[in-house]
Structure 1
Amino acid sequence: MTIRLLIADDQALVRGALAALLNLESDLEVVVEVGAGDEVLPAALEHRPDVCLLDVEMPGLDGIAAAALLRERLPSTHVLMVTTFGRPGYLRRALQAGAAGFVVKDTPAAKLADAVRRVHQGLRVVDPALATDSLFSGESPLTPRETEVLRAARDGSSVAAIARRLVLSEGTVRNHLSAAIGKTDAANRAEAVLTAENNGWL
């Protein structure tokens, strides 16, 4: 039986390399490749893959949001996150979104193929080092609104611009930024964004 795969990665070279490696396996077949998160669900609905390999950071939707959509619309399709960013917060969020596996892109080809097969069988596959880090990093200390405000602050937008974008008062934005800075032990909001990103909380 051939396992049908969808690969989603915004880097064409990486996407092509993954497809080439996995197509070498007699029981695996890449049936569709996409370069953005918002292309995942339409492609999956059209091609009905057994397993979707998703990058975390992609334009449109990120891979974690795409995984949640797949769980809702195509619950029989399994998701394996394959990412450069081995961050504990990403792992936790991906599993909560319905991903069955999480591996990093430098995983050897044979191990990646094995991870695909195991996810297809309904098993959970997680990079061991990342699983260990996740146990010690703890949950994100940020509230959903603080997370949203920090995300909006990523590009260096002013408080006024963030307030307009999120339809909040400037005072509320300042309060959320101040709380996020305190919770991340940061000196300023740029440092808070960096800390939250490095932990995969955004």
Structure 2
Amino acid sequence: MIRICIAEDQQLLRGALVSIMELEEDLIIAGEAADGAEAWALIEREQPDVCILDIEMPHLSGLDVAAKIRAHDFPCKIMIMTTFARAGYLQEAMDLNIEAYILKDEPIEYVIGAVRKIMNSERVISQDLAATLFMNEKNPLNEREVNVLKLVKEGYTTNEISKRLFLTKGTIRNYLSLSIQKLEVETRQQAVQKAVEKGWI
């Protein structure tokens, strides 16, 4: 039997996955979670064979949970499900050596087949996502610029960011200016938007 944990914040989709997979003789649902924090607690407790993770969830993203799984050397296989064909997300998944990265609009038979394939040490990537990986753009932002843009995205002002990162306001403005130049946009809001679209923050 393949023991599976499913983490998906959309209840309808999560319920459908659970119901259909439970009909398969070789699959058993060890647990389900509605957000990343719940998912991590579930995985720690149940130690499943396969974790199916939505990429964008409250508290912890699917990639955050995947990073924690890898950091703790848990043996479970990881499948990321997403509606986003973002190169940055996909590259991060590849860096974490995730076994499957598939689009949510794939047929359920494809998803179930992917579970069995990754248990046989195969890697599965949706065809549309594979094309995105081939055309991958490298993130031009360094770690500090990424952190600053994330805080801008969360609504913090330059003054608030400087306090949170223990840097001067001038340094924060410099990081923002460099980010705007690198992303070839005109404002910090446009920089955030482009970085989000690319999956870089």
TM normalised by structure 2 equals 0.94
User: 1:32 Cα deviation (Å)?
Assistant: 0.4
Cα distance in 1 for partners of 2:20, 2:146 equals: 37
For residue 14 of structure 1, give the secondary structure of its aligned residue in structure 2. Answer: helix
Kindly indicate whether the alpha-carbon contact (under 8 Å) linking 2:149 and 2:176 is maintained by their aligned counterparts in 1: yes
Aligned counterparts, 1:56-71, within 5 A: 56-71=55-70
For residue 140 of structure 1, give the secondary structure of its aligned residue in structure 2. Answer: coil
Task: Name the counterpart of 2:171.
Answer: 172
One-letter code of the match for 2:18?
A
Task: Name the counterpart of 1:19.
Answer: 18
One-letter code of the match for 2:105?
D
Kindly indicate whether the alpha-carbon contact (under 8 Å) linking 2:53 and 2:78 is maintained by their aligned counterparts in 1: yes
Kindly indicate whether the alpha-carbon contact (under 8 Å) linking 2:49 and 2:77 is maintained by their aligned counterparts in 1: yes
Q: Deviations 1:111-140 (Å, cap 9, x if unpaired)?
A: 010111111222111112112122213221
User: 1:26 Cα deviation (Å)?
Assistant: 1.9
Task: Name the counterpart of 1:108.
Answer: 107
Cα distance in 1 for partners of 2:168, 2:20 equals: 51
One-letter code of the match for 1:83?
T
In the alignment, structure 1 residue 153 sits paired with structure 2 residue 155 = no
Aligned counterparts, 1:30-179, within 5 A: 30-179=29-178
Identity of aligned residues (%): 37
One-letter code of the match for 1:190?
Q
One-letter code of the match for 1:115?
A
Gaps of 5+ in 2: none
For residue 6 of structure 1, give the secondary structure of its aligned residue in structure 2. Answer: strand
TM normalised by structure 1 equals 0.94
Q: Deviations 1:78-119 (Å, cap 9, x if unpaired)?
A: 100011222111011012123211001101000010111111
Task: Name the counterpart of 1:195.
Answer: 194
Cα distance in 2 for partners of 1:122, 1:90 equals: 22
> Structure 1 stretches (4+) deviating beyond 3 angstroms?
none
For residue 137 of structure 1, give the secondary structure of its aligned residue in structure 2. Answer: coil
Task: Name the counterpart of 1:10.
Answer: 9
Gaps of 5+ in 1: none
Aligned residues: 201
One-letter code of the match for 2:156?
S
One-letter code of the match for 1:135?
F
For residue 74 of structure 2, give the secondary structure of its aligned residue in structure 1. Answer: coil
Cα distance in 2 for partners of 1:66, 1:35 equals: 13
Q: Deviations 1:132-172 (Å, cap 9, x if unpaired)?
A: 12221322111011111111110332111122222221111
Cα distance in 2 for partners of 1:95, 1:3 equals: 23
User: 1:3 Cα deviation (Å)?
Assistant: 0.8
One-letter code of the match for 1:177?
L
Greater shift in the superposed pair: 107-116 or 6-15: 6-15
User: 1:33 Cα deviation (Å)?
Assistant: 0.5
Cα distance in 2 for partners of 1:78, 1:160 equals: 43
User: 1:74 Cα deviation (Å)?
Assistant: 4.1
